[in-house]
Amino acid sequence: MAKPEHEFFPVDRVPFEPCAGQVPELVERILAADPERGVATRMLHFPPGTDTTPNGVQEHDFWEEVYILEGAITDLRLGETFGAGTYACRPPGMPHGPWRSETGCLTFEVRYR
């Protein structure tokens, strides 16, 4: 099944749910997904003080594009902070994170194969 068809709608109709992993405060809002292919479009929210160290460095078998809408996150492996208006495009296998957000952060992400 492909991602579902959606016309414009208020994204706050979709609740934030806990993400997989060991960081319960990290939540995602899945806007569209194809579970069979493991791809999705989502918003990821890091409340202030979130630290994803328990999840470790992440690597995926899919492409991931990320745009930071609000706030900032620090990549603890790189020692670099990224804020609103910045973008990343990660090919499959690219390591990233773990992350910490002192002030909170909201991202928009597209994952595809």
Q: Report pLDDT digits (tens) over 87-100.
A: 999 999 999 999 99
Tally of domains within the chain: 1
- The parent domain of residue 63 ranges over 31-74
- Select from 49, 19, 12 the least CA-distant residue to 111: 19
Whether the CB-CB separation of 34 and 1 falls below 8 Å is answered with: yes
Q: Which of 20, 12, 13 is nearest to 40 (CA)?
A: 20
**Residue the block writes with tokens 């990224």:** 82
Residue 3 domain-assigned (yes or no):
no
pTM of the entire predicted model: 0.94
Q: Is residue 81 part of a domain?
A: no
* Mean pLDDT for all residues in the chain: 96
Q: Considering the domain boundaries, does residue 36 fall inside one? A: yes
Per-residue tokens: 26: 């990290």
Instruction: Note if the bond before 98 is cis, omega within 30 degrees.
Output: yes
Domain annotation covers residue 42? yes
Segment 1-11, tens digit of pLDDT: 689 999 999 99
- The per-residue pLDDT for range 50-66, each reduced to its tens digit, is 999 999 999 999 999 99
